[in-house]
Amino acid sequence: MIALSSSLASLGSDELDRLPAPCGAGDRDADHSRVASRGRLWRRSLPAAIASLLVGGLFSGCAGPEMAIPECEAGGRLAVLAQAVPSASLVPCLREMPVGWSFAALDVEAGRARFWLDSDRAGPRSVEVGLQPACDTAGASAVDPEEDGARRFQRLQSLTPRFVGTTYDVFDGGCVTYRYELTEGAHIALHADLHDAVALFPRQALADEIRDDLGLDLDP
């Protein structure tokens, strides 16, 4: 079986810099900071497989942030996150975007992957979802898990004037963090929206589908 990382073409940093800009990149002058936060897929030093997936799967022609959404289905976008943390048995993904929410950006590097969500009530990047090999849950309280194979913890930092905190899903080989800063009053519904939208995709199922569909191994 061919390894995914060895089967894809290697791209250097200069080639990554020449990737097409997101759609609407020329119309940012009116509100540069907000559009930049919503419309950019961050690119850092990555293994060749990840860089190739970014180009082949996410930057085909004119690509906006919707092209980077790691949906809960096997494919290049989810493989990007999985390869960032090879030990993680589960990978965060988006099932369906709730009303009033939108995808902002994706940031992937070796050892960590993050994405942000905007809310029309809580504001831009009010939620950050991160995947890493481990988490420090000291001081966090155990709460009922929502995903098989994961333990959940929660640490609240503030209840007013903003509902601020972090939820942790801890599992074999990895951890997913949900950092949120939500509008007081609407925070109960917004918090429920977040955990309805984000799910954990089994790495083995992703690897099996990539092997069956492409004849490639997700992990070397």
pLDDT along the chain (220 residues), means of 10: 40 34 39 32 42 44 60 84 95 91 91 93 91 95 91 89 91 96 80 89 93 82
Question: Using the 8-state DSSP alphabet, how is residue 9 labeled?
Answer: P
The pLDDT value recorded for residue 97 is: 86
**pLDDT value at position 65?**
57
pLDDT of residue 21: 39
128 forms beta bridges with 116, 179
Strands (DSSP E) contained in the chain are: 2-3, 42-43, 90-94, 101-109, 112-119, 123-132, 141-143, 151-158, 162-171, 174-183, 198-202, 216-217
For the whole model, what pTM was predicted? 0.73
Would you state the pLDDT for residue 114? 95
Q: What is the pLDDT of residue 130?
A: 97
Cα–Cα dist 188/66, whole Å: 26
Alpha-carbon gap, residue 171 to 174, rounded angstroms: 6
- The pLDDT assigned to 67 comes to 64
Tens digit of each residue's pLDDT (9 = 90 or more) over 21-62? 334 434 433 333 332 333 334 333 334 444 454 444 443 333
